[in-house]
Each structure stands twice: as C-alpha cells, then as structure tokens.
C-alpha cells in the first residue's frame, strides 16, 4: 500500500511540475491526495481499517484528546435498543453535548471568554432535550465499510465553538457509530440511523425542529435517504428534521458513471468494492440497490418537500456530477439548497487536514455555522 502510494506521489509531482495538476491546491495537499488515490485500490479491508484507526488516533492526539480520559471529558458512548430489524434495531453513537466553549485549545479562537465547560451533572449524561438550541444527528463517511465517530469529535468541537462565538447558537452532536458492511450489509446501518432519530424524538422528546441531519460521503447517503423515508412514510409517526447538511454525499449511482481522477482520494474500483460489500448478504444485487430510492436518492420520484439543505462539493471529486445532478433537481423542485463548491478539492476535503488548507477548513466551518444559525433563527 505504501509503496504504491509513493508511486502516486511521484506521478503527481511530475504533473505538478508541468502544470497539469490543480493550480489552487498546495503541493503537500495534492501529494497526500495522490498517495491515497494510488494506494486505495491495493489496500485490503483489514489494512484500510487499520490505517483509519491509526489516523483517528493521530487526529485525536493532535486535538489533545488522545487519551481515553481526555476524550471522555467531551464525548461519551450512548447505546440504546435491542438487536433486530426495523422497529426494534439497536443503535449507538458518541454524544457530544454543548461544551460552553471548547475543552481543547482552538488556535484560531482569539476570544478566550467563552466561559467554563457546562456542568451536565452526571458526566456527559445523555440528555439531548436540554442544553443546546440544535441537536446534530451525524453519520460519518467510510463507504459503509470503514470510518468511526471518534475521528469527528475535534471537527464538531470546532463547529460548536464557531457557531456559538459567531452567532450565539448552541449545538450538541450525536455522531452515530453505525454497523459496517460487509459484516452488516444493507439495510442495517440505515435502520440504525432511523432508530437513533426515533429515539431522539420519541424517547428523549427532542423537537424535530431542533434536529439537523449531517453526513459526509456514505453518511450523507444515509441521512438523505432517511429524510426521504420520513417524508414518504407518515406511518412512522416522525416529522422531518429542520435541515440537512451533506458533505460530498455518495448517492450510490452507477459506478460506470464515475470518471477516474488522479486528484481525488476515491477511484471507481474502490467505490465498486464498497458497493459490493454493502450489498453482499443483503439479498439485493448492486444493480438492484442502484435502482432503489431507499439507497439512491436520485431514483426518488420527487425530491420536493425536503427541509433546507447545505451541500458541499469538492471540485475534483468523482462524485461531483451526481451531486450536482441532485442539487439541480432539489432546487428545481422548490427545495432551499445552499451549495459550497470548492474547486480543485477532493472528496470531503475540509474534514481531512492533510487534504485541505487551514483556509479551506475555516471557510467550510463558517458556512456550516451560518447555516445552522439560519435553521435556528427560522424555528
């Protein structure tokens, strides 16, 4: 994996030297993207998960949350429900309550007067109905086969701080630790997301007008298909959330439509492998899932009636055409949709420090904070 990745960096360096690489992307960021692009097809699933685990530890350590005790100060694992199918399936996730400011040092926060960490009583007790204006229900990315909620804790703490400092809006986050394929193929992760939302609204009495769905990549797919299910099945007894944030959403379109790009972290073969894992053992073929609106939002007969959304698109990502097609449809059908497109950037660029600049990340977080405040103001 590492030798293959190095060859990708060498090829990228040559393209950069002759002016055939993205002009606005710094060399070090492009080299990292090229490394992943070249190595992802050669990495086995166990190796990829091992790489993700190490990357998560690095992210947490740099944020001062590398020790379990430090992470526990701002996030706690929540588990509810029983194992089973729709209606009785269990779920788990990391609860990140509003902190009253950052418990870690934010080098970009000049105002240190945010106040002390909010006392939640029993350490980080799961009480989503109180303590914040909005509750984010978040699903991480990873192609349905990899990824974890822990790696996103520093990101959400930054969003939490920015949203409060800039707009005075307090947010809490429930980041789902959903089951991964191929051990748990479709539709397990989807029903876990549904169960978590139902628990927030029914068991914990959180007003849907205070909930915003957020997801990147595969997590974006899960959140968007969940919105469609809630809209289309009133028998669930659930109301739509107040808004949706999709970062480089994987809309599960036909992999034959994907164009190989040397400046994205994903490749068509890697996407096909993920799709095979997601369908394996589900009773559905990949072809059947592609045509299923419960998996591919673009197959929905209508996208009207959805809550306001914010969509991030990487200018160099292989999902760009399908995301833009989705955005065009929702806007044409009367849905309020704000788009943040960053040219020359890869899939989920701003959630990876090595694939983006500090300016990229701050711009993306500022846009998210502004959107969340707008949702809060419209309640």
pLDDT tens-place string over residues 254-309: 888 888 887 999 999 999 999 999 999 999 999 999 999 999 999 999 999 999 99
The confidence score (pLDDT) of residue 262 equals: 79
CB 217 within 8 A of CB 142: yes
Does 16 fall in a domain?
no
Does 326 fall in a domain?
yes
Percent of the chain past pLDDT 90, that is, above it, reads 82
Q: Using pLDDT thresholds of 50, 70 and 90, give the confidence band for residue 128.
A: very high
Q: Using pLDDT thresholds of 50, 70 and 90, give the confidence band for residue 215.
A: very high
Kind plus residue range of the DSSP H or E element containing 226: helix 218-232
The confidence score (pLDDT) of residue 95 equals: 96
Does 66 fall in a domain?
yes
Structure-model confidence comparison of residues 266 and 88, the more confident one: 266
Average pLDDT along the chain: 90
How far is it, in rounded angstroms, from Cα 266 to Cα 272? 10
How far is it, in rounded angstroms, from Cα 4 to Cα 240? 45
User: How confident is the model over 125-149, as a mean pLDDT?
Assistant: 95
Does 20 fall in a domain?
no
The confidence score (pLDDT) of residue 88 equals: 57
Is the per-residue pLDDT at 115 higher than 70? no
Any idea what the CATH number is for the domain that residue 78 is in? Answer: 3.40.50.1820
The number of domains in the chain is 1
Which domain covers residue 63, as residue numbers? 44-377
Does 255 fall in a domain?
yes
Closest listed residue to residue 253, CA positions, set 310, 322, 318, 308: 322
Kind plus residue range of the DSSP H or E element containing 92: strand 91-96
User: In 63-121, where does DSSP find H-type helix?
Assistant: 68-72
pLDDT tens by residue, 338-366: 999 999 999 999 999 999 999 999 999 99
The confidence score (pLDDT) of residue 255 equals: 83
Distances, alpha carbon 179 to alpha carbons 90, 92, 99, 189, 322, in Å: 10, 9, 28, 5, 26
Does 38 fall in a domain?
no
Query: Is the pTM here over 0.85, yes or no?
Result: yes
> Roughly what angle, to the nearest 10 degrees, separates helices 358-377 and 153-167?
60
Does 373 fall in a domain?
yes
Cα–Cα–Cα angle for 218, 222, 228, rounded to 5 degrees: 140
Lowest mean pLDDT among 38-42, 171-175, 218-222: 38-42
Is the per-residue pLDDT at 104 higher than 60? no
Lowest mean pLDDT among 38-47, 102-111, 112-121, 144-153: 112-121
Does 30 fall in a domain?
no
């Amino acid at each position: 994996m590492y030798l293959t990745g190095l060859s990708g960096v060498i090829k990228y360096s040559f393209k950069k030297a002759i002016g055939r690489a993205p002009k606005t992307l710094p060399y070090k960021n492009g080299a990292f993207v090229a490394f992943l692009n070249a190595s992802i097809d050669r990495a086995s699933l166990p190796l990829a998960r091992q790489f993700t685990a190490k990357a998560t530890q690095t992210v947490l350590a740099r944020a001062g949350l590398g020790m379990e005790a430090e992470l526990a100060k701002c996030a706690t694992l929540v588990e509810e429900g029983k194992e089973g199918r729709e209606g009785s399936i269990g779920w788990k996730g990391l609860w990140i309550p509003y902190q009253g400011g950052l418990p870690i040092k934010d080098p970009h926060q000049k105002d240190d007067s945010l106040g002390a960490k909010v006392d939640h009583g029993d350490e980080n007790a799961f009480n989503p109905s109180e303590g914040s204006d909005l509750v984010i229900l978040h699903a991480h990315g990873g192609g349905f086969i990899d990824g974890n909620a822990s790696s996103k804790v520093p990101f959400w703490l930054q969003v939490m701080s920015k949203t409060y400092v800039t707009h005075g809006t307090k947010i809490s986050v429930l980041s789902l630790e959903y089951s991964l394929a191929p051990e748990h193929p479709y539709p397990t992760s989807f029903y876990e997301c549904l169960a978590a939302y139902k628990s927030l609204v029914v068991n914990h009495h959180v007003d849907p007008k205070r909930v915003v769905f957020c997801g990147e990549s595969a997590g974006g797919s899960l959140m968007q298909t969940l919105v469609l299910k809630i809209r289309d099945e009133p028998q669930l007894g659930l109301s739509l959330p107040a808004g949706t944030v999709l970062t480089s959403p994987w809309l599960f379109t036909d992999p034959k439509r994907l164009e190989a790009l040397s400046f994205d972290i994903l490749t068509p073969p890697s996407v096909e492998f993920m799709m095979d894992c997601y369908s394996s053992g589900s009773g559905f073929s990949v072809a059947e899932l592609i045509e299923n609106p419960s998996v591919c939002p673009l197959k929905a007969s209508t996208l009207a009636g959805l809550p306001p959304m914010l969509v991030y698109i990487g200018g160099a990502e292989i999902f760009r055409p399908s995301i833009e097609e989705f955005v065009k449809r929702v806007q044409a059908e009367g849905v309020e949709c704000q788009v943040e497109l960053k040219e020359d950037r890869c899939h989920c660029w701003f959630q990876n420090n090595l694939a983006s600049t500090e300016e990229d990340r701050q711009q993306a977080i500022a846009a998210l904070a502004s959107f969340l405040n707008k949702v809060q103001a419209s309640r």
